[in-house]
Amino acid sequence: MDFAMSVLEVLLFLFVFLIGLGAAVVVVMFFADRMQTDDAIRRNYPVIGRFRRLFSSLGEFFRQYFFAMDREEMPFNRAQREWIHRAGHGESNTVAFGSTRNLNVVGTPIFVNAAFPPLEDQFAKTAPMVIGADARTPYTAHSFFNISGMSYGAISKPAVRALSRGAKAAGIWMNTGEGGLSPYHLEGGCDVVFQIGTAKFGVRDKEGALSDEKLREVAAHETVRMFEIKLAQGAKPGKGGILPGAKVTAEIAGIRGLDVGQDGISPNRHAEVDDWDDLLDLIGHIRDVTGKPVGIKTVVGAEAPIADLFATINARGAASAPDFITVDGGEGGTGAAPMPLIDLVGMSIREALVMVVDLRDQAGLKDRIRIVASGKLVNPGDVAWAIAAGADFITSARGFMFSLGCIQALKCNRNTCPTGITTHDKRFQKGLVVKEKEKRVARYATELIHEVEVIAHSVGVAEPRMMRRRHVRIMQDDGRSRPLNEITPSYNAVTTP
């Protein structure tokens, strides 16, 4: 009895103590809020005014889990993310009771099913496509769907390792992003596209200029198949990236050619490139030094500059052309960037892709320059649309981030990514188990390719690259859809079967 009374007395004392402590904290917060001058809400409504900021910061999470419908969220909705999740886990992607997608939204692509689609014994595998046939070491690319640029530094070591291994298993290429070539890109043995950003990370000398010696070192790796000169990316056209010095560890510094703790700053453009002639000179130089195909990545802002590029190529000769052009849409977004650039700068991939394809074809360069499309193309319908519009290849970054387990927490730029993908905090990285995630990367790619093939068969062709603009209708604002080839007629429409 005495023992029980003692326990009750202790619990009562703790209860009273905690109440008193809580009251004291509230009083301190009250006077602190009244006296501060930074926040008017807290000054006028001490203590309770603090909840406004808390609820504002939590709003995105409540919307994601409780309030938003399957097709409402941005930048990617729940239906898109769930498709990738199921594909990565090898689960069935069949659904019941009809689509949740509103097909009347302007711009929605609707594929034209054939009256008599091909039977299974009439299916064909998508043939490999050669890029840079005139280079000393051309690249035969086996997959039309591949991994877009994500640098080591922007994403974590386990993320790079899982992507490399998964890419090898799926038979797709992986782009390094502008952060240089790490051992983790090479670890899986997949085909690698080395991206040269404006800061020349990984191939720069001590002054930051392009180093031929380091280019040869990178090209000496057999699995480095191509080089991509980045002019712009969808997240921030016209703005270079910044990797804070706090993230520049000894390993990352060695890979990028920086000093430990030095900010990794990418200029707005390549300092030695003032016009299209300069760019073609740079492309030719890198191709001569490495012997491998060289292309460019850019965001389209208007038709005239791209037309000028093709005119310059033809004036110099087709041999001067880039071996491929990656067209990134203004809706691209793995890189952290100022909101005005993310929201307002750069043409959407839906408009830019058909424009670049047609300008290339009008210039007579269809067989010389391959077109790679990028920018929120993460599901089978997006990829099938891009192929029908004229893309030779599609690359995705955020689709593969979702396959790694990304939950769209929107913390990519804060080093606090809860899934370990975009953070260098070991505590969070522990959650990304490479052996498991590499399987999901491979399954996502394989399943997406398979379902694009299903769409191709549905419209009546044997394999995806046989799809044309006439196989897609685009919803208009009058509630009717129109064939894509009527909205933007292909230059090759007369001769294309």
Q: How far apart, in Å, are the Cα atoms of 282 and each of 139, 212, 286, 426?
A: 20, 12, 6, 39
Q: How far apart are the first and last CA of the chain?
A: 94
Taking alpha carbons only, the member of 366, 424, 362 closest to residue 392 is: 366
Query: Which of left, alpha, beta for 168 (phi over 0: left; psi -120 to 50: alpha)?
Result: alpha
pLDDT of residue 494: 45
The string of DSSP codes covering 46-109 is TTTTHHHHHHHHHHHHHIIIII--TTT-SSS-HHHHHHHHHHHTT------SS--S-TTSTT-E
392/209 Cα distance (integer angstroms): 32
Residue 321 neighbours by CB distance under 10 Å: 25
Q: Tell me which residues of the chain have a pLDDT lower than 70.
A: 1-5, 7, 40, 52-78, 95-100, 234-239, 246, 332-344, 409, 411, 413, 492-497
Q: What is the pLDDT of residue 363?
A: 96
In which residue are the tokens 């386990």 written?
158
Domain boundaries, the chain: 2-67, 121-487
Express each pLDDT in 302-339 by its tens digit: 999 999 999 999 999 999 999 999 999 877 665 566 66
Residue 452: exposure state from Cβ atoms within 10 A (0-12, 13-18, ≥19): buried
Alpha helices, DSSP H, located in 267-348? 276-290, 303-316, 339-344
At the top level of CATH, the class of 121-487 is: alpha beta
- Cα 157 to chain centroid distance, Å, stands at 17
User: Which residue, 243, 259, 149, is CA-closest to 196?
Assistant: 149
Q: What is the pLDDT of residue 80?
A: 75
Q: Are the CB atoms for 458 and 471 separated by under 8 Å?
A: no
Amino acid at the residue 155: I
The pLDDT score that the predictor gives to residue 496 is 46
Structure tokens at 465: 């690259």
Predicted local distance difference test score (pLDDT) of residue 166: 96
pLDDT of residue 64: 58
CA dist., res. 291 & res. 418, Å (int)? 41
How far apart CA 67 and CA 59 sit, in angstroms, is: 10
Amino acid at 22: G
Supply the pTM of this predicted model. 0.84
Please state whether the peptide bond connecting residue 75 to the residue before it is cis, i.e. omega within 30 degrees of 0.
yes
